[in-house]
């Protein structure tokens, strides 16, 4: 969850309700009823392209693969060998969603209004974009072997 109120806490009760039937709940800009406000065109394009690429290349079902407004069931986190996850930042969000969907856990999305911050600066850099691209292609190549790459060792 972003601490600058881009992810407003008013959506948490609905997200929590969805955890009754889902293992991961995403506060989504891109599901029906979700939206963004005060986003510069450059960020809209970058966000849509990043989500489209991740969804199509990795065959993800979730509409908002890069959203950081998430609730995970404790059992999911405990079941993963987190030390085997290679990514960080926005790439981590994509990798976690990939692992969770491929493992067959239930993912739900709650529509949110994502408002651009009133002050401060974005953490997105060229380096972060490049890392995310590499992560998507690495995961696509790993797809046939993802279970052995992420399962907790016996």
- CATH code for 9-146? 3.90.550.10
pLDDT in tens, 82-137: 888 888 888 999 999 999 998 889 999 999 888 876 665 666 778 888 888 999 99
pLDDT at 148 over 70: no
Q: pLDDT tens, 7-49?
A: 778 888 999 999 999 999 999 999 999 988 888 888 889 889 9
pLDDT score for 154: 41
CA distance 61 to 101: 8
Better pLDDT: 126 or 146: 126
User: What's residue 146's pLDDT?
Assistant: 57
Residues 6+ apart with CB under 8 A from 106: 21, 22, 23, 24
């Amino acid at each position: 969850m972003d601490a600058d109120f881009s992810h407003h806490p008013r959506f948490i009760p609905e997200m929590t309700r969805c955890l009754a039937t889902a293992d991961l709940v995403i506060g989504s800009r891109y599901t029906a009823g979700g939206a963004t406000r005060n986003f510069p065109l450059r960020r809209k394009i970058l966000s849509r392209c990043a989500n489209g690429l991740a969804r199509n290349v990795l065959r993800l079902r979730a509409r908002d693969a890069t959203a950081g407004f998430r609730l995970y069931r404790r059992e999911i986190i405990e079941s993963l060998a987190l030390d085997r996850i290679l990514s960080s930042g926005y790439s981590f969000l994509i990798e976690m969603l990939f692992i969770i969907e491929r493992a067959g856990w239930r993912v739900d999305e709650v529509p949110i209004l994502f408002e651009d911050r009133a002050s401060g600066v974005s953490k997105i850099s060229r380096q972060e974009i490049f890392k995310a691209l590499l992560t998507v292609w690495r995961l696509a190549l790993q797809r046939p072997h993802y279970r052995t790459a992420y399962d907790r060792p016996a």
